A and B are shown apart, each in its own frame.
Chain A
Amino acid sequence: MREILIIGAGPAGLAAARAARARGASVTLLDAADDVGGQYWRHLPASLSAGREDLLHHGWATFTALRSDLDDDPGCRIVRGAQVWAIERGETTGRPDAARPDAARPDAGNRDTGRPDAEPAEHDDRGGHVVHALAGPVDGTDRERITLTPDALVLATGAHDRTLPFPGWDLPGVFTPGAAQALAKGERVTVGERVAVAGAGPFLLPVAASLVQTGTTVVGVFEASRARTLAAGWLSRPWRLARAGKKGAELAGYAAGQLRHRIPYRTGTAVIRAHGTDAVTAVTVAKLDRDWRPIPGTERRIPVDAVCAGHGFTPRLELAVAAGCVLTGDSFVAVDDAQRTSEPGVYAAGEITGIGGVELAMAEGSIAGHHAAGGDTGTSPVRAARVARGVHRDIARRIEAAHGIRPGWSSWLDDDTVICRCEEVRHGPLRDTAAATASTSLRSLKLSTRAGLGICQGRMCGRTVDALLRQHAPHAHRNDNATFDHRPLAFPLRLAELADHPKDNDRKESA
């Protein structure tokens, strides 16, 4: 029986598991969290469940049906609390990086099609990847070691919030929308009594809605993109939008919710500073021009006790990079029509191939699981998933056009604004070091500024540092292909766990 390993049990991973099972493959599904569902279907632990999850979650019935199907299926093993810390490329996978350390970093995808330049391998090619995971409580001393060599690998590792820095963003009381949402959905805790929601993207709306449901006063949703940009992004070729009926209804639902709760929604506006000494006490908001530069004279101070700020999402690419997958020019995993990556036997689905939301993730997951399990193109469930994928990729493009980050944001930084929080690297020194060394290497700049070298390994600041260095050191990326997505150790593990020899207590399996 074909053995499929799926990493990540959010919407994409769950859909992949179902599709692979439908094709008769044996499935192992690993997720780092205590339960499946991912960021999207994050929910209360069973012990606290209030039984009204459906009120807070879209598609809750879809999720619970998927989960119970897979839980009850003896051909699908779900390992919760399993963190994949390394993927080794086998001898049969792609080329060893030939000429120099950075030469073959996967960034060579075709920008236009988002597909690998290389001809994708046939599905019966095993990549020979070895996946190393640890299962159990992170602070536990006897986590179970899991080493797997599946016939095919589906990566569905998702994305996390991206927040652009602003002065004061490191104060207690500033949250990412994801963290605020997790507290509201997962623990029914609100982040504050008077909260400003700021940033860019349609995700700000459900966050505001969740906050309101937990009794918070949302002083405003401040969307950085201007009304004209939003309209141009969302409303181009509107007849195509109609095909995405459900998504349209979802967005309309949020708009109606806002009216009901009278949350002011301000476009072309950003929180450009958070005030306070020990915690946030107020924010300054300002109108922005089309490039997101604050317009002088429009600043307004609003008292708040919390801020949720998010500007889209960063895909979690380290495992895809470790597996050897080629990335696209805009740093997503390059996949072909069957969700195959450039690596034999490795498929990718969901936010790591492009930020597009739950429906797109599920469509891609279904296609990836189907093909990973040896399915062909003509099968009818996949045909439906392909149609859905097309529709929701169109939505994803609209989101990017409407809410994509504009370069003027860096003008709201001051020299003291912390850029890398782990290593406390501030904007002024980052810029000055880049200028002093005149370096053209991102690798060298990371090591000489320490930006992105801390415990989060650039997950939070990597894209920001990248963007700032492109502005301050225009040649910084000319001569190396270093990236912040290269993390051979995908998460920290104790030396004892690393040193532990597999033959001692290993559960080494064929899949």
Chain B
Amino acid sequence: MDVIVIGAGIIGAAVARELTRSGIAVTVIERGAAASATSASGEGNVLVSDKEPGPELVLAQYSARLWPQVARELADELGGTIPADGLGGGHRAGSGAAFPSIEFDRKGGLVVATTDAGIEPLRDFAATQVAAGVDARPVTLDEARELEPDLTPSATAAVYYPEDAQVQPVIATEALLASARRSGASVLEGTEVTGGLRGADGRLSGVRTTAGDLHADAVVTAAGPWSAELTARLGAPVPVQPRRGVVLVTSRMRPRIFHKVYDADYVDAVGSGDAALQTSSVIESTAAGTVLIGSSRQRIGFDDRLRVAVLREIAAKAANVFPFLADTPAMRCYGGFRPFVPDHLPLIGADPRLPGLWHATGHEGAGIGLSVATAALLRDLMTGTEPAIDALPFSPARPSLAEHLQEVM
């Protein structure tokens, strides 16, 4: 079987790797360069803490199980010092290998409420997650300060999530893509898909590109926020919209933040479909010694102009969770576009309208974390294997998406 994967962000890279390892001949087509758009604009979240019980949580739990294994495989294959299990201790493989570490680290997350009104919703939310199999541990404020000594004195409640992890998203994308290449995938960068090719039976049989026509048995879209435009070119548009996010980066410091720390608003902001600006704190230190402070969510199309008001809100909320950050220099900021879907679930599976077209897109802010599970799920669907989790909720044919899907053109 020949498959074309469109998009070389982390989803396309993970999908290419899984398909190639199943013996499928994969060509990845990327309009720009790999790992340089959405995958290079986020924080590298591999989270279960922000997800309410439901299909996305199941997918996140699947990914949380897969990541340590994928990290180990990448280390064995590419060398470098990729931590094997994210539980501390480097795993060195190969000799003199140059591939940098993907910095997979299961550091755990701490969700903090800072108001009295926030206590009960946080505890209730955690209780529903526990029922869904998440390791969510309500902790006392003393315990919270043992986990994060510099936490604000005005914290009112906290829940600890040991399963939350972090990965360096650009290096992870490059590593997944390098692994796919080693297994035989070919990668065409700087090549834009301009349209679809149809067989006599109406099936999608390949794509037209700026480098000529390419034929395949199946085409997978993994173009993130640009998926709507891409699928329109292929004749079967999907309702994925860009949602802007901005992250602040501090100067380097000695380690003072040890987990991923969120204020309890975060869950609401993630789940919201509101177009207006929303911010909530997601604060964590990186292996390099900087602190990443996110994040905003705003639906403003592909407008990437700097908005100082957004930075102000992010900075204020972060200093509310960790007061010492008020005196910390913000060194740079970056922003990107997340692929937003109206019913808040990624599209993973066959397009009901156009045989030969498959999707792996629409992960909004969770794509880094969900990438490896998405790839495994899609691999099973495309090879006719029983998937490890129920794939129906992610099907592009699901009822909640029907009103947003147009007829095939």
Contacts and interface: CB of A to CB of B under 8 A. Distances in A.
A361 to B, nearest CB: 28
Contacts of A498: 248, 311-312, 315, 330
Interface string B112-146: 00000000000000000000000000000000000
A89 interface: yes
Contact of A492 (B301, B302, B303, B331): B331
A132 B327 CA distance: 19
A54 to B, nearest CB: 39
Given A88-B306, A101-B304, A479-B189, A441 B36 contact: yes
Contacts of A479: 30, 32-33, 36, 189-190
B328 A495 contact: yes
B32 A102 contact: yes
B35 interface: yes
A445 to B, nearest CB: 9
A440 B330 contact: no
Interface string B169-187: 0110110001001000000
A495 B98 CA distance: 36
Interface stretch (B14-22, B56-64, B158-166, B318-326): B318-326
Contacts of A440: 33-34, 189-190
Given A437-B178, A496-B319, A499-B326, A457 B331 contact: yes
B33 A489 contact: no
B288 A453 contact: yes
A4 B174 CA distance: 47
B78 interface: yes
B198 interface: no
A305 B409 CA distance: 74
Contact of B315 (A88, A96, A499): A499
Nearest to B226: A100
Contacts of A102: 32, 36-37
A232 interface: no
Residue among B30, B34, B97 with most chain A CB within 10 A? B34
Given A88-B305, A478-B190, A435 B36 contact: no
B312 A132 contact: no
A52 interface: no
A97 B302 contact: yes
A233 B332 CA distance: 40
Contacts of B293: 495
Nearest to A437: B174
Main secondary structure of the interface of B (DSSP, over half): mixed
B98 A432 contact: yes
A249 B189 CA distance: 53
A494 interface: yes
B333 A444 contact: no
Residue among B36, B190, B334, B336 with most chain A CB within 10 A? B36
Nearest to A453: B288
Nearest to B174: A437
Contact of B36 (A322, A454, A482, A489): A482
Contacts of B34: 439-441, 444
B178 A441 contact: no
A1 interface: no
Interface string A82-115: 0000111100000011111111000000000000
B302 A98 contact: yes
A498 B329 CA distance: 9
Residue among A87, A448, A457 with most chain B CB within 10 A? A448
B325 A495 contact: yes
A100 B37 contact: yes
Contacts of B248: 495, 498
Nearest to B102: A448
Given A102-B36, A423-B288, A487-B332, A495 B318 contact: yes
B20 to A, nearest CB: 16
A339 B377 CA distance: 57
Contact of A443 (B30, B40, B303): B40
Interface string A120-150: 0000000000101000000000000000000
B293 to A, nearest CB: 8
A496 B178 contact: no
Interface string B72-99: 0000001000000000000000000111
A450 interface: yes
B32 A480 contact: yes
Given A423-B288, A450-B288, A499-B315, A478 B305 contact: no
A433 interface: yes
B316 interface: yes
B332 A488 contact: yes
A96 B178 CA distance: 34
Contacts of B99: 433, 436-437
Nearest to A498: B315
B100 interface: yes
A495 B315 contact: yes
Nearest to A488: B306
Contacts of A439: 33-35, 174
Interface string B4-40: 0000000000000000000000000011111111001
A101 B226 contact: no
Residue among A88, A96, A441 with most chain B CB within 10 A? A441
B200 interface: no
B41 interface: yes
B383 interface: no
B254 interface: no
Contacts of B325: 495
B308 interface: yes
A441 B288 CA distance: 21
B71 to A, nearest CB: 16
Contacts of A450: 288
A475 B123 CA distance: 51
A130 B32 contact: no
A153 B127 CA distance: 56
A448 B174 contact: yes
B290 to A, nearest CB: 8
A495 B326 contact: yes
B406 interface: no
Contacts of B328: 494-495
A465 to B, nearest CB: 15
Interface string A469-497: 00000010011101000011100111110
B30 A496 contact: no
Contacts of A100: 31-32, 37, 226, 302
A252 interface: no
B394 interface: no
A467 interface: no
Contacts of A432: 98
A225 B345 CA distance: 61
B8 to A, nearest CB: 10
Interface of B: 30-37, 40-41, 78, 97-100, 168, 170-171, 173-174, 178, 181, 189-190, 226, 229, 248, 250-252, 288, 293, 301-308, 311-312, 315-316, 318-319, 325-337
5 contacts: A436-B78, A444-B34, A479-B33, A489-B331, A501-B316
Interface of A: 86-89, 96-103, 130, 132, 322, 423, 429, 432-433, 435-441, 443-444, 447-450, 453-455, 457, 475, 478-480, 482, 487-489, 492-496, 498-501
The 4 A-B residue pairs whose C-beta atoms are closest, nearest first, are A441-B33, A432-B98, A479-B33, A492-B329
Given A97-B305, A435-B98, A438-B181, 8 more contacts: A89-B306, A99-B226, A101-B336, A443-B36, A444-B33, A444-B34, A455-B252, A494-B326
